[in-house]
Amino acid sequence: MTEIKCWEYLIGKETFKVKISPLNKEEYIRVHVPPPLDRGDGSFLMRYRLYGSAATGLKVEILHRDVAVAMSPYIIQGPVYHEYCDCPESDASVWLSVLQCPPNEPQILADFKSFPTIDLQNLRQEVPLRFSNRGGLIHYAIIDNKVYRRTLGKYTDFKMFSDEMLLSLTRKVRVPDVEFFINVGDWPLETRTEGALPILSWCGSTDTRDIVLPTYEVTHSTLETMRGVTNDLLSLQGNTGPPWANKTERAFFRGRDSREERLQLVSLSKKSPELLDAGITAWFFFRDREKQVGKAPLVGFFDFFKYKYQVNVDGTVAAYRFPYLMLGNSLVLKQDSQYYEHFYRHLKAGTHYVSVRRNLSDLLEKIKWAKENDAEAAEIARAGQAAARDLLQPSRLYCYYYGVLHTYSEHQTGRPMRQADMELVPQPDDYTAACMCRRESDKNGPSKNDEL
């Protein structure tokens, strides 16, 4: 007999049963389906991870008392590849359509206004001269969908995040030939308005001209989803604390001492503990003030959402916890800042979060407002959460990376090249499952051999 295997899990309080199985009953594919995430608003987040490729596709059944509901079954047409299967779609328009990528991203459009043309020859000469002593800079070239790089600077360990994302993207779609520099340090680099150079960075600011990518934190969260044990943008959505009405009516903050305003939060907390609970959990930048301010014990991130209001204050640059706070069901009180991440242009103060002056002088006033206008505060929290769910889903991250590289390729002049000191960044070996790629001829065309 042919073994047909399905995976069944109970959703919520034993309300639904979900089955995931190959459309082709002759296929055996191991699928990891963790317990579903109850998002607390009547919706559930179902996740799965393939350890094999489904050539024909997958069938997802949702049952209530063994009766199909919600237009079940859902069919995911094949081929459906597992994460490490190197089967890029040669027609990017097909891939963009399947992922339902937006036709444009406002931040990408804004970033490239400073760079109507990108002279690659000038770029290769000027970027190392100006920025190689600034910490961590990675020079990449993607040629025939292979990733090459060289490192510049002392602190380049975070290239593991950009490496992994670029490899993951090129396994899914053919990327245009392109040559660029990624800054893997915290601070955006390009301060010039005249003669600016296009540096790709994880954070932008109103004082710089860097082209913004999703932060390494958001990137790592997406790549690590269901692979590791750390919290990610999906797992958080099922752990957002009690319902709004049952949350503690105080603002909350825990974090390290990476900005002086964070120390001010602790002072405000001591003066008004009925409004704010703030503490510093690790000291590095202002160690001489630790004794005066005190050190608070660590609090699990999911426990943040026991509180109605979350205070978001910059760290060294933008606070990379902001996406996570937005996905919770608490109201985010966000410090005004010159720093921004790739998705901020989609958000509006007063609609998706509450803005707080940079010096925090109106923070307590804003907390009081939220307490006195509970329904409006709850609606802002809900709208912010809904926007974050849309903007931070994994498909949007891949859309964004592709959008940056595609736009860059349209602006570059000269031929992208693998420089003599660049090394190939190899795709990871997959020992867990065969990669039955139906696009093998596309993947291994004229560029199959590494000629350099």
Instruction: Examine the pLDDT at 441 and tell me if it is beyond 90.
Output: no
The pLDDT score that the predictor gives to residue 38 is 85
In the predicted model, is pLDDT for residue 334 greater than 60? yes
- Asked if residue 445 has pLDDT above 70, the reply is no
Q: Determine how β-strand 44-45 pairs with β-strand 37-38.
A: antiparallel
Q: Which amino acid is at 354?
A: V
Strands 16-22 and 146-152, by their bridges, are unpaired
pLDDT digits (tens, 9 = 90+) for 78-129: 889 888 899 999 999 999 999 999 999 999 999 999 999 999 999 999 999 9
Do you find a cis peptide bond into 323, omega within 30 degrees of 0?
Answer: no
Whole-number pLDDT of residue 14: 60
Bridge partners for 413 per DSSP: 119
Average pLDDT over residues 183-209: 95
Sign of CA dihedral 175, 181, 184, 187: negative
- Which ranges in 151-296 belong to alpha helices (H)? 159-172, 216-224, 260-271, 290-293
The model's pTM is: 0.91
Domains defined for the chain, CATH in brackets? 7-80 (2.60.40.10), 106-222+397-443 (no CATH), 237-391 (3.40.50.2000)
Instruction: Give residue-wise pLDDT tens across range 364-423.
Output: 999 999 999 999 999 999 999 999 999 999 999 999 999 999 999 999 999 999 999 999
Contact in structure between 142 and 107 (CB atoms under 8 Å): no
Arithmetic mean of pLDDT over the chain? 90
For 120-181, where are the alpha helices, taking DSSP H only? 120-131, 159-172
Q: Calculate mean pLDDT across residues 125-140.
A: 91
Tell which wins on pLDDT, 437 or 321: 321
DSSP annotation of 345: G
Confidence (pLDDT) at 44: 83
With cut-offs at 50, 70 and 90, classify the pLDDT of residue 13: low
> For the residues 302-325, what does the mean pLDDT come to?
96
Find the farthest-apart pair of alpha carbons in the chain and give their distance in angstroms, rounded.
72
Phi, psi of 210, rounded to the nearest 5 degrees: -65, 150
What pLDDT score was predicted for residue 41? 87
- How far is residue 135 from each of residues 160, 164, 323, measured CA to CA in Å? 15, 20, 26
Residue type, 196: A
- Residue 282: half-sphere exposure toward Cβ, Cα within 13 Å: 7
| Mean pLDDT across 260-271 | 96
How wide is the angle at C-alpha 178 spanned by C-alphas 166 and 153, nearest 5°? 70
To which H or E segment does residue 356 belong?
A: strand 354-356
In the predicted model, is pLDDT for residue 442 greater than 80?
Answer: no
What pLDDT digit, counting tens, does each position of 222-243 carry? Answer: 887 767 656 788 889 989 999 9
Element (H, E) at 397: helix 394-411
- Of 128-132, 369-373, 434-438, the poorest mean pLDDT is in 434-438
